[in-house]
Structure 1
Amino acid sequence: MFCASTNKSVDVIAGKLIPGTYLIENYKALIANQNLGLALWNSFRNATVLTVLCLLICSIAGYGFEIYHDKGKDVVFTILLTAMMIPFAAIMIPMFRMFSTLKMVNTMGAFMLPSIATPFMIMMFRQASRSFPHDIIEAARIDGLSEVGIFFRMFIPTMKSTYAAAIIITFMGAWNNYLWPKVILQNKDAITMPMLVSNLLSGYTVDYGMLMLGVFICTIPTAIIFFAFQKSFTEGITGAVK
């Protein structure tokens, strides 16, 4: 991908696999044809805010499902998991009509609400909460620590590996999301990196050198996030607690 981004389109089509000298020209063409800076900013802002909100809400939900006992919680959790079987394409049009009725088209809220609490994230935090020592919770309650304090001062620091895994999954999903932003964010100023890459394919002729440069730039943030949290990723998926 990087080698292709440094070559001309004809060289990419010909299958040239060594770095070329056309990187600057491809970058200038990308800047001239697309609003790269705005797309990067929109994607980074959307992915960051969505990741923070999703981790907070899903971790609270997963913690609550496991720590607090109620007769109906298993029924609610089963319904929640059943929602994972419904493809997004089946609910996309009803959601758009709902947000359109609420006059929320072209807003950050409409973009984030469908992904702000996912069944998979709630399930992952619930599984992680099963390894959280209940003795610590009881000791904290005896010492007078509130339930909110137990969550923020004890649960979150203990579950760093789970949060690291959730950051990777949520950020990559939000950054690479194309279909829903394309539908709900109809303003040109709301363009994201997946939309920008898609626009590079919409012309009569495709400049593959410029296209691969756009894909390469789009890949860098997710790669940085993954390598930054990779040590905790495996532990977080398995729910390990040190």
Structure 2
Amino acid sequence: MKKNKILVILMSLIMAFIGFVAMFPLISLIVSSFRPSSDLMRNGITLFIPLESLSFSNYQHIFTQAGNYWTWYGNSLLISILVIVLSLFFSSMVGYALAVYHFKGRQLIFILVLLILMVPFEILMLPLYQLMTTLRLIDTYTAVILPMVVAPIAVFFFRQYALGLPKEIMEAARMDGCNEYGIFFKIMAPLMLPSFAAMAILQGLGSWNNFLWPLVVLRSNDMFTLPIGLATLLTPYGNNYDVLIVGSVMTVLPVIILFLFFQRYFISGLSVGGVKG
């Protein structure tokens, strides 16, 4: 009994140390956001700083003189929200259909989804860009959102999760006169809430941090997303650390809020969706 207690304490200390190491970059970033930009230029990002040098001037600057920062922030929020909503709506229906309905070409569609999962996005980027150019969608929110509306990883995940749904409920609903859309939206979708939560976090995180594709299709400064906008602050003529460091801290907040909102279902959604099949 005593040996088990010592082992638990030892494992807790090891996990706490690993957690601190994992959180160290974020802690360093938060602490550095309270330092003057001149100090950042001179000493870099570090935890070992005099307390008297800390101030809220950087945060005051970003809320009063940050230029286009909040425009970029709003663009990223809008795009991420639309990606989450549209991706969950369409990907869940596709994954659900592949799991519960038997139709000609069903396995072929699923194989194509798996094949697309194996192809790096950089290979698909050129034909997607040509498509956006043909549709005259360059420098629009639609060009950023459209390729993410039906995400292969989300389709695969929802299919795996839907395979474990009880088919008896569907049959009972059909006997009661419920149509297929009613079965999905009123009965099956509530049962899939853990999978929706897990995919909301993953899709939201992917959209929020997406840099390459928005960089390719967006042109005007007012349309930039937050990762692109922050990257423009790094120039050969000087770096605006007042906005860059504090802006990076503010960038983390929506991700934390999203995870806290859906954490109740996140682990169960990933574990159940990953073992069905």
The reply to whether TM is greater than 0.5 is yes
| Within-5 A mapping of 1:55-94 | 55-94=88-127
Change beyond 3 A, Cα 1:223–1:29: closer
> In structure 1, what is the equivalent of residue 219 of structure 2?
186
Aligned-partner residue type, residue 92 of structure 2 = S
Between stretches 87-96 and 53-62, larger displacement belongs to: 87-96
1:102 to 135, 141, 148: 135
Aligned-partner residue type, residue 195 of structure 2 = T
Q: Alignment length, in residue pairs?
A: 240
> In structure 2, what is the equivalent of residue 118 of structure 1?
151
> In structure 2, what is the equivalent of residue 6 of structure 1?
34
Between stretches 104-113 and 154-163, larger displacement belongs to: 104-113
Gaps of 5+ in 2: 1-28
- Do the aligned residues in 2 keep the contact of 1:30 with 1:214 (CA within 8 Å)? no
2:68 to 24, 35, 57: 35
Q: 1:210, 1:22 → 2: CA distance?
A: 14
Once the two structures are superposed, residues 30-61 of structure 1 have per-residue CA deviations (whole angstroms, 9 ceiling, x without a partner) of 85354122111111111101110000000000
**What's the offset of the Cα at 1:70?**
2.3
> In structure 1, what is the equivalent of residue 178 of structure 2?
145
> In structure 2, what is the equivalent of residue 204 of structure 1?
237
**What's the offset of the Cα at 1:198?**
0.7
- Do the aligned residues in 2 keep the contact of 1:53 with 1:116 (CA within 8 Å)? yes
SS in 2 for 1:239: helix
- Do the aligned residues in 2 keep the contact of 1:27 with 1:210 (CA within 8 Å)? no
Q: 1:16, 1:54 → 2: CA distance?
A: 39
Between stretches 13-22 and 68-77, larger displacement belongs to: 13-22
Aligned-partner residue type, residue 185 of structure 2 = F
Provide the aligned C-alpha RMSD in A.
1.9
Change beyond 3 A, Cα 1:77–1:31: farther
2:210 to 171, 174, 177: 177
Between stretches 128-137 and 25-34, larger displacement belongs to: 25-34
- Do the aligned residues in 1 keep the contact of 2:62 with 2:242 (CA within 8 Å)? no
**What's the offset of the Cα at 1:208?**
3.8
Q: 1:50, 1:237 → 2: CA distance?
A: 20
> In structure 1, what is the equivalent of residue 200 of structure 2?
167
Aligned-partner residue type, residue 163 of structure 1 = F
Change beyond 3 A, Cα 1:183–1:31: farther
Q: 1:45, 1:123 → 2: CA distance?
A: 25
Q: Does residue 241 of structure 2 align to residue 213 of structure 1?
A: no
Q: 1:212, 1:80 → 2: CA distance?
A: 39
Aligned-partner residue type, residue 58 of structure 1 = S
Change beyond 3 A, Cα 1:67–1:34: same
Identity of aligned residues (%): 32
Aligned-partner residue type, residue 33 of structure 2 = S
Change beyond 3 A, Cα 1:30–1:16: farther
Once the two structures are superposed, residues 75-124 of structure 1 have per-residue CA deviations (whole angstroms, 9 ceiling, x without a partner) of 22111111112111122122212211221112222111111111110010
Between stretches 151-160 and 99-108, larger displacement belongs to: 99-108
Aligned-partner residue type, residue 164 of structure 1 = A
Query: Highest relative contact order (Cα 8 Å, sep 6+), 1 or 2?
Result: 1
Q: Give the TM-score taking structure 1 as reference length.
A: 0.92
Gaps of 5+ in 1: none
Q: 2:88, 2:125 → 1: CA distance?
A: 23
